[in-house]
Chains A and B, each alone.
Chain A
Amino acid sequence: MNWKDTLEFARGPFFQVALIVFVGGMAYRLMRVLLLGWSRDRVPSKGSKLGGVVIAYLKGIIIWPFVPWVKNTFSKKPVMYLAGGLFHLGLFVIIFFGTPHMLVWKSLLGLGWSTLPTPIVDWLAAVTLVALATLLINRLVDPVLKLITGPAEVLNWLFVFLPMLTGYTMTHHLLNPYEMIFSLHVLAVDILLIWIPFSRISHFIFYFFSKTIHGAQFGKRAVTP
């Protein structure tokens, strides 16, 4: 099997399987949590739960990760906050506003959108790689993170890092032949997709649960979330 065939396999059947595992796995996890039962909150509200939820999201998405002085705790771990924030921003921009990725979305969803100029995406990719490396080092030396880090946490990091690394290598033609590095990139993405339902990377779904609960709890009390 040469690299060309590998690429066809990685983009074709293997990608299909990975997508099915990803979508099916996430749907299963979502249903499992939803079906556990939700008791009604009978406590009379003082403020607006909905208002609290809106503020929680605004703060969580727009302000919190990028405006350092909002949270006092930022001053204690600036590197971790910056690295965490930039890594998420970078990943989001690359996945949705990198031209090649948008084309993948287009082939899957049937609709496309305008993307960002390659130099911007490229620069963010470099930042994301550095941020990821920083986060790993931090995870290995911080006493709390050492305590809560097991094999799963290291794999989470690795399976996100590999697509980033191969993608960057590919766009900069650092390794040849092109089919090889392209294959490795797509394989890494396939593995990531398969891994997500088994891991805590799935937090991109459950974030909306905990953040809504947070907003509602504070909104109920008329306290800023």
Chain B
Amino acid sequence: MKTQHALNTFVEETGGWVASQLEACTRCGICAEACHFYEATGNPEFAPVWKVELLRRTYEQRFTAGGKLKLALGIDRRITDDDITHWSKIVYEACTMCNKCAMVCPMGIQLGPIIHGVRTAMSNAGAVPEDLMAAVNKQVQEGSPLGATQAVWEQRIEWIADEWEVELPKDQKGAETLVVFTSIEIMKFPDNIAAIARILHKAGEKWTISSKGREVVNFGFYEGSTERTVLFMKRLFDAAQELGVKRIMVTECGHAYDALRWTAANMMDVPAGLEIVHIAGMLGEYVRSGRIKLKRGAFDDGVITFHDACKIQRRGSHIKEPREVLNILAPNSFKEMSPNKEQSICCGGGGGVIAIKEADPIRYAVFGLKMKQLQDIGATTVTMTCSNCRLQFTDSVQHFGLDVKVRGLSQMVAEALE
């Protein structure tokens, strides 16, 4: 029964966009070399090409003469419940949908988005890992997967404003920018919220937060559920429309930006004229236009490096801005890891992986690659523009007992404001 739901999803989502890319695959296996999960564990089942295996088989069996023939001859077999259970683990626990594989695929196949489609089928089949599903349900019911209920959120916001002595304008009509924080920041990195507030005030931004659209994180997008992805985004769009803002600013969150900026318009009606921006891009813009001024060399100490988040840099476009900022903050100490920018290696915690307890061993194994990158350049501080990456870094640095400081870029910018 549940398998049928998955198959129906596969069939529904197989338009020319997906089919032409499945047809282009030569099964050369090069994508495996790009996958940090395969690299770190050596498990061939983590090869991106294998992650889309069920989709490919369904496509061939349903749409192609060859596939039907293979099925009739018994060379291929129908997809079973066991297959769904088996692949559920592979696509949720060993993939952050970072799309690095698309960078090395000789055909340029967009494996990240296609694997997202496989997750959608898994979600419709009810084959989502328990931990992740629990978090999704929590976001449906409480408005946040991390326990930032309305009451907790109000309390934390008030506390942050008090503790760091910053103004956090709430539900202000007439504001131009609706800033939506992640509950990771609310619950674990409150200093980031204070930092962003300082920067926005300094830049003279007319901004507000909203008690209705208070959670930018979108666990429905991790799950791959179209219905819940849309539900969570709609909360933000509704809040934005009610406040009459011109733009939504996503704070240090990667997949939310991917969902809102690069996916929403293809899934639902986005309010006309509403712009979606990311703090990583805005930092660069504020600096370029002189809206904020930073102390040159404020962090010139040790070796400081920048971690590119898959959804904000490679898939989000904000590759240049953080570097422009870092070249001011630490012109001598800033050093790139290798590979970097659009070729960077993902942290291993994205795509909801960090929310699945069972995935911890592979998540740490993947961080091993990142650790090696850090050690190769002797990094003493690593900074980033994604709270999910930062969560993975903070947790893993502790796990491995690494002597590296993990910081959000906004935080550093706020400290260097002139």
Contacts and interface: CB of A to CB of B under 8 A. Distances in A.
B338 A72 contact: yes
B15 interface: yes
A137 B102 CA distance: 25
Interface string A170-211: 000000000000000000000000000010101100110111
B109 A36 contact: no
A33 B342 CA distance: 30
Contact of A84 (B28, B49, B262): B28
A213 B342 contact: no
A19 interface: no
Nearest to A42: B265
B15 A36 contact: yes
A222 B315 CA distance: 9
Given A221-B262, A221-B317, A29 B23 contact: yes
B321 to A, nearest CB: 12
A147 B49 CA distance: 10
A148 B47 contact: yes
A65 B106 contact: yes
Given A147-B50, A206-B23, A38 B265 contact: no
B261 to A, nearest CB: 8
Contact of B19 (A36, A44, A46): A36
B380 to A, nearest CB: 24
A143 B42 contact: yes
Interface residues of A, number: 57
Contacts, number: 146
A164 interface: no
Interface stretch (A3-11, A73-81, A98-106, A120-128): A73-81
Contacts of B49: 144, 148
B300 to A, nearest CB: 29
Contact of B33 (A42, A73, A147, A151): A73
Contacts of B109: 210, 214
B107 A206 contact: yes
Contacts of A210: 20-21, 24, 105, 107-110
Contacts of A35: 16
B313 to A, nearest CB: 8
B265 A44 contact: yes
A148 B104 contact: no
Given A36-B16, A144-B38, 4 more contacts: A64-B106, A202-B23, A215-B108, A221-B315
7 contacts: A33-B23, A35-B16, A73-B34, A203-B25, A206-B23, A217-B102, A217-B110
Interface of A: 29, 32-39, 41-44, 46-47, 56, 60, 64-65, 71-73, 76-77, 80, 84, 142-151, 153, 198, 200, 202-203, 206-207, 209-211, 213-215, 217-218, 220-225
Interface of B: 14-17, 19-21, 23-30, 32-34, 38, 42, 44-45, 47, 49-50, 53, 63-64, 66, 75, 102-110, 261-266, 313-317, 319, 338-339, 341-343
